[in-house]
Amino acid sequence: HTLRNAEKELLPGFHQFEWQPALKNVSSSWDVGIINGLSGWTASIDDVPAETIARRFRYDVALVSALKDLEEDIMEGLRERGLDDSMCTSGFTVVVKESCDGMGDVSEKHGSGPAVPEKAVRFSFTIMSISIRVEGEDDGITIFQEQKPNSELSCRPLCLMFVDESDHETLTAILGPVVAERKTMMESRLIVSVGGLLRSFRFFFRGTGYDEKMVREMEGLEASGSTYVCTLCDSTRAEASQNMVLHSITRSHDENLERYEIWKTNPFSDSADELRD
């Protein structure tokens, strides 16, 4: 059955918008609904199992839909702060929390549907806060703050994939285009109509919705049985059992990713032991 207009407005792909500068490698069309999660993947199809099923929204389209959903809250926030909404057309900053987690076993217990992998992973985001910089003020003024940031009601699904979260290759292949879209959005401004006027928004992303299993998976670290206890320090289980207090952060998540790339590509033809060190 066809969606009523009121329902269409709630789904990504209904509202017109523009990016300045235009997003790199992302179509400027805005009326895009659900897309295949493998689209945007430029490498040969051999890198992704053909039977992988993934569906997602384009990241920027989904963010616009979320902002339009908060349109009344944004306008109310401006009024509550005593700001003239006709003057507030730029300087908006949106903080987005990203989450990605395995959904466990989603297999069909009874029924004769197509055989699909039994595990699923969901990537979603939550708009945590919206603030605006006003002339004469050093700090941004918060006009929207999510009151229930961990509620499923504020969490917006972006991508759903039938894949085991421990299948690194497939997971990173599907999330590759999502990450690329996020990267280019951080270098641009969104222009969209809110409260009847075009306004510009910048986005900041916080990957705080990943559990440690997912972090280890994405950064190529050993899983839960690893010799190393933490994702950001080099303490081993043996060391930690002797000393539970004096630990320090010795590297960043970016460094983990760099290490993983070196480990995967082995540019210096190191032996297995050297790579492990």
pLDDT digits 0-9 by tens, 135-144: 777 788 999 9
What kind and span of H or E run contains 52?
none
Residue type at 10 in one-letter notation: L
Please give the model's pTM, rounded to 2 decimal places: 0.77
Q: Is it the case that residue 43 has pLDDT exceeding 50?
A: no
The top-scoring range by mean pLDDT among 5-9, 196-200, 226-230 is: 196-200
Close Cβ partners of 127 (under 8 Å, ≥ 6 residues apart): 66, 67, 70, 94, 95, 96, 144, 146, 154, 156
φ and ψ of 96, to 5 deg? -115, 130
**pLDDT of the residue at 26:** 83
Give 70's pLDDT tier (boundaries 50, 70, 90): very high
Mark whether 181 and 57 lie in a shared domain: yes
**Whether 106 and 156 share a structural domain:** yes
Domain tally, the chain: 2
Residue 163 vs residue 39, higher pLDDT = 163
* Domain of residue 203, residue span: 5-210
What pLDDT band is residue 145 in, cutting at 50, 70 and 90?
A: very high
178 with 230, same domain: the answer is no
Q: Do 206 and 231 sit in the same domain of this protein? A: no
Considering the domain architecture, whether residues 193 and 230 belong to the same structural domain is answered as no
Per residue in 212-233, pLDDT (tens digit) is 777 766 666 766 667 777 777 7
Cα separation, 120 vs 110, in Å, equals 18
Residue 156 shares a structural domain with residue 192: yes
- Among 210, 230, 265, the domain boundary falls at 210
pLDDT higher than threshold 60 for residue 117: no
If you average pLDDT over residues 108-123, what whole number do you get?
Answer: 72
Shared-domain flag, residues 119 and 236: no
pLDDT category at 95 given cuts 50, 70, 90 is very high
Instruction: Tell me, yes or no, whether 45 and 88 share the same domain.
Output: yes
pLDDT band at residue 276 using 50, 70 and 90 as cut-offs = low
Residue 111's pLDDT band (boundaries 50, 70, 90)? low
DSSP strand pairing (197-210 vs 92-105): parallel
Close Cβ partners of 210 (under 8 Å, ≥ 6 residues apart): 98, 99, 100, 101, 218
- Based on the fold, state whether residues 55 and 127 are members of the same structural domain: yes
Q: Are residues 13 and 132 in the same domain?
A: yes
Same structural domain, 136 and 113: yes
Identify whether residues 39 and 80 lie together within a single domain: yes
Q: Is 98 left (phi over 0), alpha (psi -120 to 50) or beta?
A: beta
* Domain end point (choices 192, 210, 228): 210
Q: Which of 210, 227, 252 is the last residue of a domain?
A: 210
